[in-house]
A = this chain, B = another copy of it.
Amino acid sequence: MASEAELRLRERLSKLRSLPLLGGARLSGELERLQRQLDRMTAEPTDEEIWRSVELARHADRPYTLDYVARLLDDWFELHGDRGRADDGAMVTGLGKLDGRTVVLVGQQKGRDIQERTKRQFGMPYPEGYRKAMRAMELADRHGFPVISLVDTPGAYPGVAAEQHGQGGMIAQSQALMARLRVPTVACVIGEGGSGGAIAIALADRVLMQENAIYSVISPEGCAAILWRDASQAKKAAAAFKPDAAHCLELGVIDGIVPEPEPAAHADVDEAARLLGESLRDALDELDSFSGDELRRRRRAKFRSLGIFA
A contact set with B: CB distance below 8 Å: 83-85, 127, 131, 164-166, 169, 173
Contact = CB atoms under 8 A, between A and B. Distances in A.
10 contacts: A83-B166, A83-B169, A83-B173, A84-B84, A84-B127, A84-B131, A84-B166, A85-B164, A85-B165, A85-B166
Given A84-B127, A84-B166, 10 more contacts: A83-B166, A83-B169, A83-B173, A84-B84, A84-B131, A84-B165, A85-B85, A85-B164, A85-B165, A85-B166
A76 B294 CA distance: 39
Contacts of A83: 166, 169, 173
Most buried by B among A85, A164, A173: A85
Contacts of A164: 85
A101 B163 CA distance: 37
Nearest to A84: B166
A88 to B, nearest CB: 14
Contacts of A165: 84-85
A84 B127 CA distance: 8
Most buried by B among A83, A84, A85, A127: A84
A157 to B, nearest CB: 15
Contacts of A166: 83-85
Nearest to A161: B85
Nearest to A164: B85
Contacts of A127: 84
A173 B131 CA distance: 15
Contacts of A131: 84
A83 B169 CA distance: 7
The 6 closest A-B pairs by CB, nearest first: A85-B165, A83-B169, A84-B166, A83-B166, A84-B165, A84-B84
Contacts of A169: 83
Nearest to A172: B83
A85 B127 CA distance: 10
A173 B173 CA distance: 18
Nearest to A169: B83
Nearest to A173: B83
A166 B85 CA distance: 7
A34 B212 CA distance: 78
A143 to B, nearest CB: 16
Nearest to A127: B84
Nearest to A83: B169
